[in-house]
Amino acid sequence: MKMKKLLLTGLSLLFLGQVNAQNRFPKPDFESGYQYPEITYPVPDEMSWVTVDIILLILLMGIVAWAILKKRTRKPVIWVSIISVGYFGFFRSGCVCSIGAIQNVSLALVDSTYILPLSVLLFFILPILFAFLFGRVFCAGVCPFGALQELVNLKNYRLPKSLTTVLGMIPWIYLIYAILYAVTRSSFIICRFDPFIGIFRLGGDFGLIVFGVLLLIISIFTGRPFCRFICPYGALLSLFSRVSVWKIELTRKTCINCDLCRNACPVDAIEPPYENKVKETRLQGVKRIITYLIVLPFMLLAGAFLMRSVSSDLSRAHKDVRLYDMVMSHEADPQDVLSIDLEAFYGQGGTVEELTETYEKVQADFKLYSTIAGALFGLVIGITLIGLSVKRTRKQYAINRAGCVACGRCFSYCPQNSLKEK
pLDDT by residue, tens only, the chain of 422 residues: 555 455 455 545 544 454 454 444 455 555 555 555 555 545 556 788 899 999 999 999 999 999 999 999 999 999 999 999 999 999 998 887 899 999 999 999 999 999 999 999 999 999 999 999 999 999 999 999 999 999 999 988 889 988 999 999 999 999 999 999 999 999 999 999 999 999 999 988 999 999 999 999 999 999 999 999 999 999 999 999 999 999 998 888 888 888 899 888 999 999 888 755 555 666 776 777 788 888 899 999 999 999 999 999 999 999 999 999 999 998 888 888 888 989 888 888 889 999 999 999 999 999 999 999 999 999 999 888 887 777 667 888 989 999 999 999 999 898 888 776 54
Handedness of CA 151, 127, 388, 255 (dihedral sign): negative
Picking from 169, 147, 162, the residue whose alpha carbon sits closest to that of residue 94 is: 147
Q: Measured between alpha carbons, how far is 118 from 54 in angstroms, rounded to an integer?
A: 10
Q: In Å, how far are 8, 47, 196, 199, 201 from 94, measured between CA atoms? A: 73, 17, 8, 9, 8
Domain spans of the chain, in order of start: 49-250, 282-333+341-389
pTM of the model: 0.84
How big, in percent rounded to 5, are the helix, strand and coil portions of the chain?
65, 0, 35
Q: Measured between alpha carbons, how far is 380 from 375 in angstroms, rounded to an integer?
A: 9
Q: Measured between alpha carbons, how far is 375 from 383 in angstroms, rounded to an integer?
A: 12
φ and ψ at residue 404, rounded to 5 degrees: -65, 130
Q: By the 8 A CB rule, do 72 and 417 touch? A: yes
Picking from 207, 189, 190, the residue whose alpha carbon sits closest to that of residue 198 is: 207
